[in-house]
Amino acid sequence: MGLFIFIGLLCYDLVFILPDSKIIMLPHDTIVGFFILVSFMICMSMSVMYHTLNCVSAEVCRRWFSMDILGISLAFYAVFLSGIFYGFWCPEHMMQRNLYLTLVFLPRIVTMYVISGVAMLLYVYQLPEKLLPGYFDRLGSSHQLWHVLVTVALVYWHHTGLLYARHRSVHGCFL
């Protein structure tokens, strides 16, 4: 499901966001946004393949588990790289502007990490199935909730990147 969400976001961005005459997206914003979405799609694809093929054999399971971890690492790398890209876009001497942007966008960054943290805690502590054994065997397990919340966090990060790119296209390096 997450894969299709990110394919949909990529199509939406290509059809509606990029051609919007009110927003002039710089080429590097487009490249970074494309890299982020493709990384998220690879992450979701590797997860789908792992969960689909892990019952074939122990060797296939190990191989696809490694690919799943690679996909997760790529998604983390895309989030990290985009943060570095946007964080250091303007010259260092514009500290007032950087402070302003930090105050505006920090809550969005924190929210993304809170969503991811809740997902991790649910998965690690196996909630809710630990509280009600047997009730969440097919739907609502911690692993399923983890996937949903990670997808929500990545969609939220994509939206944050669009907001930042839009702000930068309107204001540049100045307030």
Annotated binding-site residues read: 143, 147
Longest dimension (CA), the chain: 58
The DSSP H or E segment spanning 99 is helix 95-124
Burial class for 77, CB neighbours closer than 10 Å (0-12, 13-18, 19+): middle
Tell me how far the alpha carbon of residue 7 is from its chain's centroid.
13
For residues 51 and 144, the answer to whether their CB atoms sit within 8 Å is no
Joined tokens for residue 127: 């909630």
> Binding site residues for Zn(2+), as ranges?
143, 147
